[in-house]
A and B are shown apart, each in its own frame.
Chain A
Amino acid sequence: MPPAPADSAPIPPDRPAARRVGRAYFSRWGVGLCLTDPQGRVIEAYRARGWEGPSHETVRRLAIDEALRWGEPAVQPGPDETVLWAVPVMVNARVAGGLVAGIAEARLFRRGSTAPVIDVRAACTDLRRLAEEHNLTNAALLELRRQAYRREQARAEAIHAYKANPFFQLRSTYLLDEPSLVAAIRKGDRHEARNILNRLLVAMIHHAGDRLELVKSLFMELVVTMSRTAVEGGGVPEELLGSRYDAIARLATIHDDEELASWLNEMLERIMDAIHAAPRHPHAAMLEHAMRIISERCCEKLTRDQVAEEAGMSRSHFSRMFRQHFGCNFSDVLLRLRTERAAKLLAETDRPLKIIALECGFTDQSHLTRVFRQHYRVPPAQYRREHKNTKD
């Protein structure tokens, strides 16, 4: 059931429960809270001061709306150099107000330091959990929102990722999509498999434009990578790419879109057949689950052991399988995803670097800068200058 609009008949929020959350939250995080109405007007404050004025109300309302939209508190830069996040206070499916937490940047970052004094992302999640524990919000609805938007977000980010740095991103996007692709093929769900492939193809075609040779090389990479997966699962290389790789040789002779479309169609269907029939994919489902955890929670404190455990594999086995299947290790993927997310925020927002570092799961700004340089070969500030409001 969709939540009622914020301005429908007002519902009184549970103030005693809100107070309990305020106390618990302050003792855990040292961050003050206020209970607001759906418009962001303060009803009661718990260890929070100086949040008056219409601009504060607007940001608080935005923070509540955003949390409702994504199912999770999201860090918002507030007026007067504050940072805030919120959870909607709900009575069944109706919004009764919000619990808004906030801290001045000056308190969050000690003088001269770019490392925050608390883990803001964990504090965001904890606020939601506390509100859920005290029955102040609709946990089921927020969970649904998180699920719905994860997929939408992933789609948008996948396309964006290509645009920011297509060749680098192409591989990691494929990597993220591969487990679901393989799972869909193994289940015999060709429609879903084509849907995933079409997302990748759209991005490739968009990037390459009219440059047929570039389109060809991108398609070839996709076909070769998918073949590798099929061979690893027990497929016969000759059946996939032909003896002496003649499918690849044939690609070299193609000079026309129509032939290329037909070549690609034939190759992808053939590889999907091979993956479907391949006898050995014992860990595909677990690795898919692991990759989904990494992708969805890459900005949180996430360890290899934690992911292994949640995916139902032993730690050492997980590392070996992960490397064997994806050709890189857990921390490579995690850092790559965090860096890509940071790159996206740099290009699309004006948020300060230290805030972006926090949001993306880096320990501090200098950590982000160091990793960013390794991936993109430029410092974050330069990347922002070059990619801000540009198409490619």
Chain B
Amino acid sequence: MDLAPLTESIRKGNRNDARRYTQDAIAAGISPATILDALVRGMDDVGQRFQRNEIFVPEMLIAARAMKEAMNLLEPLLVKAGIRPAFTAVIGTVQGDLHDIGKNLVAMMWKGANFGVIDLGTNVPPQKFVDAAREHNAKVVGLSALLTTTMPAMKETVTAIRQAGLHDVKVVVGGAPVTQKFADEIGADGFAPDAATAVTVVRQLLA
């Protein structure tokens, strides 16, 4: 069975088609992993086009929602087949910062790329990142900040993660005031200037 229409439905953000083609693929006995690949391909394409400024934000949002619809059908089968996301990422906005817009976009794109995502919300203290990374055996921690005044909290969080001995955990930082230079200064492993790049950065770090 050709899964190209399913990929296309994600690219276009058509959730009814995404649901229907997923149902058809499941009914045709296609393995959940293969269906998942088709979905991720669609979402990857959307992410890359967003990164290149070829599409507008609402188009990315509807694509993510179509992906979510398809995943609702697929997830029980993935669990049954013992297929789990390759790794888990913990994400949150650092202590003192209550903004969640950038963090939500990144979480959405990570889910779309089939990472397991633990969203800790906003105003998250360093220790909570450490505890969650440990509890979920996370490979990645994503830190977001929108205020220049909360950028020091990013540094504290990176330090806390390193001091807790979580040396394999890759820390990715992003947010309006954050730059590559700042990321380097505080010892983060990666810097993502936008939500779509956050996917690429994590893949590169874990390759």
Contacts and interface: CB of A to CB of B under 8 A. Distances in A.
A206 B53 contact: no
Given A2-B181, A390-B98, A264 B149 contact: no
User: How many B residues touch the partner, as a band?
Assistant: 20 to 34
A205 B14 contact: no
Interface residues of A, number: 33
Nearest to B50: A198
A268 interface: yes
Contacts, number: 77
B56 A391 contact: no
A118 interface: no
Contacts of B53: 190-192, 194-195, 198
B33 to A, nearest CB: 28
Contacts of A197: 56
A258 B14 contact: yes
Interface stretch (B58-66, B70-78, B80-88, B124-132): B58-66
Given A258-B13, A258-B14, A156 B177 contact: yes
A85 B200 CA distance: 41
A257 interface: yes
Given A192-B53, A348-B147, A257 B61 contact: yes
Contacts of B62: 257-258, 261
The listed residue with most B CB atoms (<10 A of its CB), out of A198, A203, A348, is: A198
A390 B147 CA distance: 13
A205 B181 contact: no
Nearest to A162: B101
Contact of A261 (B56, B177, B181): B56
Interface in B131-158: 146-149
Given A156-B148, A159-B176, A198 B15 contact: no
A243 interface: no
A260 interface: yes
A260 B62 CA distance: 10
A155 B145 CA distance: 13
A201 interface: yes
B207 to A, nearest CB: 27
A257 B58 contact: yes
A152 B56 contact: no
Q: Which 3 A-B pairs have the closest CB atoms?
A: A261-B58, A156-B176, A191-B53
